[in-house]
Amino acid sequence: MNSEQNSGFESLQPPSSGLPPQMSPPVKEKKRTGWRIFWNIILVLSVLTNIVLFLVLIGIAAIFAAGRMGVFTEEVIQTGPKTVKIAVIAVEGIIDGEKAQDVYQQLKSATEDKHIKGLIIRINSPGGMISASDQIYNEIRKYRIKTGKPVVAFMEGLAASGGYYASVACDKIIAEPTTITGSIGVIVGYLVFQQLLEEKLGIMPVISKSGLKKDWPSSFHPPTEEELQYIKDKLITPAYERFVEVVAEGRKSLTENDVRRLADGSIYGSREALDEKLIDNIGYLDDAIELTKSMAGVKDAEVVEYHKPFSLFGLLDSRAPNLLKLKKSTLYELTMPEVMYLWSLN
């Protein structure tokens, strides 16, 4: 009986695996498929991010380079054949050294572009520095002589003093009906700080000089009649004579005496300027374009206007003025007389 029971129990036992009882078959771990997919996505995103950052750095470098190299972009303002172009160069705001440099770079671009058949100098300026106005005038004349291509001045709201000075370098001048022009003349201005320094701040300037006229004009005392005459003889008269010479040379319809009669600083509206032969016609930009095409001997052309691209270099330039720092050179600039071809309401 016992033997039968034992044999029955033995038959219910699982078959032996042939391994020692303390060792079990290894259990295989499940593959972590979800984590692999996650890290692959992270890797792909990282690569794409690096590519985007690289392209951004290239773009920033290009913007910096554009700002430093004087590169200008072209905006099409009238469609036409790509191989026949009229370029518009803007002279806007106060004319200073930077403005003159911009105009020089644009004229250089126009000279190098063989598709350019003529130029329009679009002027909206009250004038500015004497040397900068003369530089623009000279560069326009050099372009005309070198290329033989027509250049038309188009006056918008204001083209006075240095703005008019630049205009007479062109072959023809067209002004809008509401344009203010003229103001042929010179103005000199500087500040006198004597009362502020001595009476308000208790500061007494000390000046030591090698000669009587070394500090004329001075910001540390009111000018005498002799000093005012000195300023006129040395600064105003030579600049005025240059202005008269330039206008007489550029406006063949005017004699030197005509120019002197008009060059008393007066401003002129378009109609009066036309009557006085300071300009050639009254019209709008489309009229200036048509005149330029006619002078260039073309029937149709693409009209483009040069624009200076936004430049991070201009914002980050270490030479930019710092309003929080008052340098010695700043004080010098504040006290230095400004001799300008400028229409001023002050």
User: Which residues make beta-bridge pairs with 155?
Assistant: 123, 175
- Three-state DSSP class for residue 304: strand
**Alpha carbons 53 and 60: distance in angstroms, whole number:** 10
Q: Residues in the chain, how many?
A: 346
| H or E element, residue 285 | helix 285-296
Report CA dihedral (303, 90, 102, 343) to the nearest 10 degrees.
Answer: 170
Q: Pick the catalytic residue: 117, 133, 149, 161? A: 161
Widest Cα–Cα separation across the chain:
153
**Alpha carbons 216 and 22: distance in angstroms, whole number:** 112
Q: Pick the catalytic residue: 209, 213, 214, 327? A: 214
Q: Is 214 a catalytic residue?
A: yes
Q: Is 210 a catalytic residue?
A: no
**C-alpha 182 chain-centroid distance:** 25
Instruction: Read off the tokens for 241.
Output: 């004579």
Residues annotated as part of the active site: 161, 214
